[in-house]
Amino acid sequence: MKKTVVIGASHSGQMVASEIKRFDPDHEVVLIEKEKNVPFIASGINLVLKNKIHDLSDAIAPLVDLDKIGVKSFFGYEVVEINWDKKTIRYTNGKGLQEEDYTNLVLATGSKQYLPRQYMNVKNIYSYKSFSESLDVLKVLENANTIAISGTGYVGVELGEVLTQLNKQVSIIGPTKNLIQEYYDQEISDCIKHKFTNYGTSLFLENQIMDINEENNRLNLQLLEGSVACDVLIMANNSRPNSELYWNGLRISQDKTVEVNQYLQTNQPQVYAIGDLIALPNLLTKNKTRLSLITEARQTARIAALNIVGKKTVMPKQLNISTTQLFGLYFGSVGLTKEKLEQSNIAYKTIRVGNLSSFEKIRISLHVDFKDRIVGVQIVSEKNIQTLLDLLEIVIRSGWKMEELYSNNTSFFPMSPSFTSVLHEAAACYLAQIREE
Ligand SMILES: Cc1cc2nc3c(=O)[nH]c(=O)nc-3n(C[C@H](O)[C@H](O)[C@H](O)COP(=O)(O)OP(=O)(O)OC[C@H]3O[C@@H](n4cnc5c(N)ncnc54)[C@H](O)[C@@H]3O)c2cc1C
């Protein structure tokens, strides 16, 4: 009988285990996980502070009943050793070592938010990802008044927004020019910046922390330009893959991700790596970027499961789809930002349509390349745009031209706003512009 051992039982680990069982119920699956409360939605703190869930344990979201589907799980056990030749792993709960052999091994050990070494022993500096770390940080944040956040990506900005809305005095610090620069153009970043500054939040962009002093239980942050005094500093910018266990035996990239091929196999036979532990090529630029979202982690788990049960499946290239809600507005993006298009020397035109006061309550920017194909989408709306983004992901992936977007048919429902009519409008504007030129 085939046996797969999965290390890590968070979003990707639990999914690969349950999908292998779905496709091959006779397959023996063993899941080993260091923590007890998984998979945990790492933005659980925001959900509690926004009153969307009652307490942090509501952010523990198991996908299936693992016992019921026959996955043998060991929670509270850490894998400490792998013998690649003998195909065995050793794991412990602190009381002696146990050993497991495997036919396939899946590495799903994800990533961790690290505190820079020099700040490890400084009081009132925190990072979080796991349930237990989040429990501590939630208490701290509830009691703090002035909070500095280092990091201008999703984690820092979403936390900053929640704390701002709770009337805490918030400062967000980071080296980038824009907020959530990885996913959004300056236009959207400016819209978010504007909201923050209206609420009195201080943004220290293109800046960084140079030194930290503790004084009377408070922190004094010396920045490249200026300074910030705060009760608490949250480091929301220092994520690294948990790959140390594999440095001896696997090919590891410079960013410490585990290298995988298009089937998510590592350089060791029948060893797969998934989720935050790996980097994958972008469909449009071919540049590899580290995975950092739950949906991406689950996608890699589904592909690895198919490969393990013998259905050879190529991992699709990435299109950086993501969405968020800040200050009551929904933001979403898929494909490349202007910055990435420029860095990759891809010539493009931008078509902007819609506005927030229209019936559809949506504003869309489409970046279109010289072959008339959409290569990037940026959206702001008062409505949830998840379904539209998913549709546009497929449109970009299929290489649709603007003519196809313009000429395709859609469903109709009386008096119901249609996002696709906004897409038709964008395609029409683009085609009219091209004709003029
Ligand atoms: C603060 C924060 C907020 C976030 N918010 C969101 C969000 O809102 N939406 C979103 O899509 N993404 C969010 N993310 C990203 C998301 O959490 C990750 O993409 C996701 O957790 C990746 O899942 P994973 O299974 O690859 O790895 P992880 O979730 O990192 O899990 C890896 C697991 O492996 C275990 N492990 C590690 N080493 C061992 C070992 N040696 N033995 C046994 N077990 C081991 C760990 O304990 C851990 O449970 C957030 C991240 C952070 C830090």
Return the pLDDT at 413: 84
Task: Work out how many domains the chain is built from and give that number.
Answer: 3
33 lines ligand 1 (CB under 6 A): yes
The closest-lying atom of ligand 1 relative to the alpha carbon of residue 245 is 41
Phi, psi of 158 (to 5 degrees): -65, -40
324 lines ligand 1 (CB under 6 A): no
* Cβ density class 94-103: b for 16+ within 10 Å, e for less: eeeeeebebe
Cα 8 to middle of ligand 1, angstroms: 9
The closest-lying atom of ligand 1 relative to the alpha carbon of residue 324 is 8
Same domain flag for 245 and 232: no
Per-residue confidence band for 137, with pLDDT thresholds at 50, 70 and 90: very high
DSSP state, residue 10: S
Tens digits of per-residue pLDDT, 350-372? 999 988 877 778 999 999 999 99
15 lines ligand 1 (CB under 6 A): no
Return the pLDDT at 404: 96
Residues 6+ apart with CB under 8 A from 131: 35, 37, 38, 40, 44, 56, 57, 59, 60
Return the pLDDT at 182: 96
Evaluate whether residue 313 is within a structural domain: no
**Which amino acid type is present at position 308?**
I
**Over the chain, what is the mean pLDDT?**
96
Please say if the pLDDT value at position 9 is more than 80.
Answer: yes
Return the pLDDT at 414: 85
Same domain flag for 103 and 153: no
Measured between alpha carbons, how far is 53 from 47 in angstroms, rounded to an integer?
6
Measured between alpha carbons, how far is 321 from 293 in angstroms, rounded to an integer?
10
Please say if the pLDDT value at position 231 is more than 80.
Answer: yes
171 lines ligand 1 (CB under 6 A): no
CATH of residue 356's domain is 3.30.390.30
- Among 213, 237, 261, which residue terminates a domain? 237
Which one of 40, 52, 129 would you pick to mutate in the ligand 1 pocket, going by the greatest count of ligand atoms within 8 A of its CB?
129
The closest-lying atom of ligand 1 relative to the alpha carbon of residue 112 is 30
Please say if the pLDDT value at position 223 is more than 80.
Answer: yes
Same domain flag for 202 and 232: yes
> Parallel, antiparallel, or unpaired for β 232-235 and 125-126?
parallel
- Among 237, 262, 293, which residue terminates a domain? 237
Containing structural domain, residue 331: 321-436
Per-residue confidence band for 143, with pLDDT thresholds at 50, 70 and 90: very high
If you search the block for the tokens 């065995």, which residue do you land on? 88
Cβ neighbours of 295 (radius 10 Å): 10
In this structure, of 27-41, 146-160, 355-369, the range with the lowest mean pLDDT score is 355-369
Whose C-alpha lies nearest to ligand 1, atom 15? 293
If you search the block for the tokens 């603007």, which residue do you land on? 402
Please say if the pLDDT value at position 166 is more than 90.
Answer: yes
The closest-lying atom of ligand 1 relative to the alpha carbon of residue 296 is 19
Same domain flag for 196 and 251: no
Cβ neighbours of 390 (radius 10 Å): 14
Same domain flag for 254 and 296: yes
Same domain flag for 345 and 274: no
Evaluate whether residue 80 is within a structural domain: yes
CATH of residue 153's domain is 3.50.50.60
Please say if the pLDDT value at position 120 is more than 90.
Answer: no
Evaluate whether residue 46 is within a structural domain: yes
Evaluate whether residue 88 is within a structural domain: yes
Same domain flag for 182 and 326: no
How far is residue 55 CA from its own chain's centroid? 22
Same domain flag for 221 and 274: no
If you search the block for the tokens 């949906």, which residue do you land on? 295
